[in-house]
Amino acid sequence: MRSFFIFLILSFLLLALDSLGWMRSVRGMVEKGTNPLKGGIYRTISNVKYQVSNIKYSREELIALKEKVEELEREVAKLKIENSQLKIDNQAMRRLLQAPLPPEWKFLPAKTLGGTRYLTIDKGKRDGVKKGMVVVFEEVLVGRVVGVSEKSAKIMLPTDPESKIAVKVGNVRGILLGESDRLILTEVLQGRKIKVDGLVVTSGENEVFPANLLIGKVSKIEKEERQPYQKAEVEPLIEYNKLETVFLIVE
């Protein structure tokens, strides 16, 4: 109770002194003593805010850097694919150069783009591709160009229903027809002998295809004594739908 009365008396005394202006000097001294502390606190807060803003900016930079790294990783992956494709192209070119083809022939490489009836390639008019050009893979016939656009071309394969190629098996001549994704050797006289596994090559007749390009091998012979001709099934030497790189013979 005594402490309460003392506190009450001191409070009235301070109010009285303040009303008389005597507390101004004391307040000034207190403020003078606390101003450096206030300034320090303000500078600290400002510095923290600056650092926080810098941290935020650095995070944005890290996000941008991460995006750049991801972009570079995609570029590296793309380069790996292109490098792999380049190796495939180089291997195909080496095999082509080693193939027993006329040394004066010139070739235009092209990548296959798939297709339904015709095989589409990524070379067209702008690359000098013309209708009727012969297409090979190594020394094996792939077909001939039957349609050309500015940036692509279509190739008729030997298995196409409209394909008709003059061929020979050894010294025996005949006509190779496309039939439902098969190859059928026709117009071979009954008296002529052909053997299973005999290689079928272009004969060069009619000047549609150069001579001695490989196409397939005889897999089955069909003879009918009453017919003037015998027929044979021919197995292609390559799988046309799995080709990745082919070569056009350039005149």
Q: pTM for the whole thing?
A: 0.62
Section 158-186 average pLDDT:
93
pLDDT averaged over every residue in the chain: 77
Phi, psi of 155 (to 5 degrees): -115, 130
Which pLDDT belongs to residue 68?
Answer: 73
Mean pLDDT: which of 36-40, 134-138, 189-193 is highest? 134-138
In angstroms, the CA 50 to CA 61 distance is 16
State how far the Cα of 159 lies from the Cα of 179, in Å rounded to an integer: 6
* Residue-range domain boundaries for the chain: 23-98, 104-251
Higher-confidence position of 61 and 46 = 61
Q: What is the pLDDT of residue 239?
A: 93
User: Can you give the pLDDT at residue 228?
Assistant: 84
Helices (H) and strands (E) in the chain, counts: 2, 12
pLDDT value at residue 67? 74
Of the candidates 173, 183, 189, 185, the residue with the CA atom closest to the CA atom of residue 225: 189
* Confidence label for 29 from pLDDT (cuts 50, 70 and 90): very low
Domain 104-251: which CATH number of 2.40.10.350, 2.40.50.180, 1.10.580.10, 3.40.980.10: 2.40.10.350
